[in-house]
Structure 1
Amino acid sequence: MGAAEHQFDHNSSHPGPWAERAPRTVTTLMVGKLICAGAGEQLCRVRNISATGMMLESPFPLRESDSIVVELRGGPVLEGKIMWVSAGRAGVQFSAPIDVEEVLATAKGSSPAARLRRAVPRAPRFQLATTARIVCNGISHAVVMENISQSGARIRLPNQPDLDRVMTLVIPGLSPRSCTVRWIENDVAGVAFIEMLPYAELAAWLNEMQAPR
């Protein structure tokens, strides 16, 4: 049976604590941060979701029965257990039922709190310290990148150079990213990428950087 066919069918060989399948499964495409034992922090996509489970995909090889946590854009955190894996996809049963509409609204920035703040939900950030370079005003400076997302990064600037309006962040293993400064505090700065880092590129890089050595 293919991944798309059995989705969250907990009534087959993996009966869960809920006797009936969730009445409404929402097809979606949300990017999240996957946390799993032995995996570090990986990128994933949630393909569909219901009150009791979700189907996700990730280039990281997942295993049945593993407990996982997925953090979505805007902050919703989903916890559960992998019930099946197939061709880069996995079916997850939540530890407790969720409010699907609330989760989707928060991740898409349409919840009342998000509308009040007029804020765009922040993409999941991955804590992964590595050396990088920032090129500004024609000069290259060594920096430490403390975290990264598809939309930006946090960098530490040991020499506190004067930053240009548009710079280039050069991270080994990724294509150079044109970026702008969002904030600076002491020797730390937040930069936003002018063009979002492609999902496949970031996912492969995270998988390589956190692979067992």
Structure 2
Amino acid sequence: MLDDQDDQDRPVPTAVVRERRGGQRHSIVLLIGKVCRGDHETVCLVHNISAFGLMARFTTAPVVGERLRIEVRGLPLVAGTVRWVKGVKAGFEFDEPQDVDRVFTLKQDDGRTARSPRFPIAALARLRFEGAPFTAALIDISAGGAKMMSDTPVTTGLTGQIMLPDMETPVYGTVCWTRDDSFGVRFVASLSLTTLSQVLGC
């Protein structure tokens, strides 16, 4: 479980400060990451990152020496080792140096917008865009949005309320694409670590 709630209900911004420690450039961030422990996926909140590793707050504390894989926006799923742990915060060393400038580049090489890590989910959400509320199946979710399916037709540009599973208050989002009975929703404000982990049940 989380030991504090200081990020609850806050949007998750991108990098705000760059600094140097021991000759290495570190970038202070607040970005949602995906943590893979074997076949199990959970979330973390990355506080700073360099070419050689990162420091993050985890929903469940790892242990020193544990092997993990972590994905952050702009980077692939990177393997590495936990080097230190303090509460639910831990330092993670990459197996190989990474090009962290990609974390702060919103457009990828192919011209697509860099996305936050996505988590597959099988759950229902209740939506109200126009008229009567309806139910949609959640296919995957990230801090910034979700992919859904529903028999109720929607159109690009609709904005409304979304009640995510296990949440007592709705979030707001806009339909950004549609395809057959599938559609994507971009949240008006990014989900916090606490909210996303609660939705995912981790």
Deviation at 1:146, TM superposition (A): 0.9
Partner of 2:35: 34
In structure 1, the residue corresponding to 2:90 is in which secondary structure? Answer: strand
Does the 8 Å contact 1:30/1:72 carry over to 2?
A: no
| CA distance, structure 1, for counterparts of residue 79 and residue 113 of structure 2 | 24
Does the 8 Å contact 1:22/1:50 carry over to 2?
A: no
Match of 2:143 among 147, 150, 156: 150
Assess, with a 3 A threshold, how the Cα gap between structure 1 residues 52 and 180 changes in structure 2: closer, same or farther: closer
In structure 1, the residue corresponding to 2:109 is in which secondary structure? Answer: helix
Match of 1:188 among 182, 196, 199: 182
Deviation at 1:55, TM superposition (A): 2.0
| CA distance, structure 2, for counterparts of residue 55 and residue 199 of structure 1 | 15
| CA distance, structure 2, for counterparts of residue 87 and residue 125 of structure 1 | 26
Partner of 1:107: 103
Q: TM-score, normalised by structure 1?
A: 0.72
Match of 1:166 among 152, 156, 159: 159
Letter in 2 for 1:185: R
| CA distance, structure 2, for counterparts of residue 125 and residue 183 of structure 1 | 17
Deviation beyond 4 Å, 4+ runs, structure 1: none
| CA distance, structure 1, for counterparts of residue 139 and residue 133 of structure 2 | 18
In structure 2, the residue corresponding to 1:203 is in which secondary structure? Answer: helix
Deviation at 1:111, TM superposition (A): 7.3
Paired residues in the alignment total: 179
Deviation at 1:22, TM superposition (A): 7.6
Between 1:51-60 and 1:172-181, the stretch displaced more is 51-60
Deviation at 1:83, TM superposition (A): 2.4
Q: Structure 1 regions of 5+ residues with no counterpart? A: 1-20
Q: Which structure has the greater CA radius of gyration?
A: 1
Partner of 1:59: 59
Q: TM-score, normalised by structure 2?
A: 0.76
Give the number of the structure whose residues are more often helix, by fraction: 1
Deviation at 1:190, TM superposition (A): 0.5
Does the 8 Å contact 1:82/1:91 carry over to 2?
A: yes
Assess, with a 3 A threshold, how the Cα gap between structure 1 residues 162 and 23 changes in structure 2: closer, same or farther: closer
Partner of 2:121: 128
Deviation at 1:108, TM superposition (A): 1.0
Aligned-CA RMSD value: 2.6
Partner of 1:13: none
Assess, with a 3 A threshold, how the Cα gap between structure 1 residues 192 and 51 changes in structure 2: closer, same or farther: closer
Q: Percent identity?
A: 27
Assess, with a 3 A threshold, how the Cα gap between structure 1 residues 125 and 111 changes in structure 2: closer, same or farther: closer
| CA distance, structure 2, for counterparts of residue 78 and residue 69 of structure 1 | 5
